[in-house]
Structure 1
Amino acid sequence: MKKDLNAKLTRGAQRTLDAFFDATTGLLATTSFTDISVNALCERAGYPRATFYNYFEDRDDLLNYCWTALSDQANLSDLASSEPEHRVDTALDAMADLLESNAELLRAVLEHNPPEGPLFSSLHMFIEGRAHEIMRTCVDRDRFDLPADLIADHYANTVMLVLDWAYLRGHTLTREQLHAYAHTLLGGVE
């Protein structure tokens, strides 16, 4: 992305990013990602193509921004301070909250974008990367005789697997079931 999201954004820059986010999510609810053009995004957002390219490299870059904007809604700030035995549950709950709070959008997007398509491949990669980053900073390194990055990959992949099963593949699970599935799958490490 051409804008540094860690830097303070001007109101105008934030308005522009919000407009492209809204345009993307609005179009994804009615159209396959592969069929959405930069022109359609710009028309829906109300900005010229030059503005789009001032902010984003391409549609995939915009999509990564959308994933980041959605993930910022999840409250993961207290994850590192939680007890090690509750960190997986805390991360799983935060990501599940995010998916549930956007359930209507997710359902609409799923109607036009199959789970095995490029949109959800991008989402999978984003969630796995974010989960890995979160888990790597929270892994209790003293509990295991394994590299922290390897453990983080294992945790991140397991969290993603359970979320995918419940929210993208349509298996309705309670929070208790989500936690139980994750803990059972992680049983070899925990």
Structure 2
Amino acid sequence: MKKDINAKLTRGTQRTLNAFFDAMTALLTAKSFTDISINELCEHAGYPRATFYNYFEDRDDLLNYCWIALSQQTDSADLTAVESFRRVDVALDSMADLLEAHADLLQSILEHNPPEGSLFSSLHIFIKQRARELMLTCIDRDRLDLPVELIADHYANTVMLVLDWSYLRGHMLTREQLHTYAHALLRGVEFTESV
């Protein structure tokens, strides 16, 4: 993104970002991401192409901003105060909260965008990055002999796999089942201690 969304944004900047966010989500509920053009986005947002390019590199950049904006609407997990054997559960719950908070939107988008398509590939990447960031903050470096980055990637991939299975592939799982699946898939890395 060309704007630093972590900095204090002016009202005008926030209004413009909201307009493009609304345009993207509205179009995604009506058609495939691959069929959405920059011109359509600008028309729906009510801004010229030049404004779009002042904020975003391309459609993918706007889509990534949409994932960030959606995630900012839910609470992020703080794993540093959580017992080590519960950290994966808390991270998984945080990501599940994000998906559940926007379940209707995701269901509408799924009607026009298959889970194997570029839109959900982008969502997978975003969720894995978020899960990885969460896990990097809390891995017990003294207890595990593997590189921290490798463990964080393993956790993030497993969290995404379980979330994808439940929320995007239609095998709706309870939170307890999500935890059970993640624990079973991670056994031997995180769960060498009692679970």
- Same fold flag (TM > 0.5): yes
Q: Retained in 2: the 8 A contact 1:74–1:95?
A: no
Offset at residue 168 of structure 1 (A): 0.6
Contact 1:3 1:55 in 2 (8 A): yes
- The answer for the alignment partner of 1:17 in structure 2 is 17
How far apart in 2 are the matches of 1:162 and 1:63?
Answer: 23
Partner Cα separation in structure 2 for residue 94 and residue 134 of structure 1? 10
Match of 1:7 in 2: 7
Q: Deviation per CA, 1:72-130: give whole Å up to 9, x if none.
A: 22322422222212111111111111111111111110000000011111111111112
- Supply the distance in 1 between the matched residues of 2:181 and 2:121 (Cα, whole angstroms): 22
Aligned runs of 1:13-162 on 2, under 5 Å?
A: 13-162=13-162
Instruction: Give the CA deviation at 1:57.
Output: 0.6
Q: Give the root-mean-square deviation of aligned CA atoms.
A: 1.0
**Range moving further from structure 2, 132-141 or 68-77:** 68-77
Structure 2 letter corresponding to 1:154: H
Q: Which residue type is aligned with residue 34 of structure 1? A: T
1:169 alignment partner in structure 2? 169
Cα deviation digits, residues 44-91 of structure 1 (max 9, x gap):
111111110100011011011111111222322422222212111111
- How far apart in 1 are the matches of 2:80 and 2:113? 34
Could you tell me how far apart the structure 2 residues matched to 1:36 and 1:139 are?
A: 40
Q: In structure 2, what is the Cα distance between the partners aligned to 1:184 and 1:88?
A: 12
For residues 179 and 95 of structure 1, the distance between their equivalents in structure 2, rounded to whole angstroms, comes to 12
Unmatched 5+ stretches in structure 2:
none
Contact 2:56 2:62 in 1 (8 A): yes
Aligned length: 190
Q: Is the 8 A contact 1:158 1:182 kept in 2?
A: yes
| Match in the other structure for 1:181 | 181
In structure 2, distance between residues paired with 1:77 and 1:121: 23
Q: 5+ residue gaps in structure 1?
A: none
User: In the superposition, relative to structure 1, how do residues 161 and 77 fare at CA in structure 2: closer, same or farther (>3 Å)?
Assistant: closer
Instruction: Give the TM-score, by structure 1 length.
Output: 0.97
Determine the C-alpha separation between the residues in 2 that align with 1:51 and 1:10.
15
In structure 1, how many angstroms separate the alpha carbons of the residues matched to 2:159 and 2:134?
Answer: 11
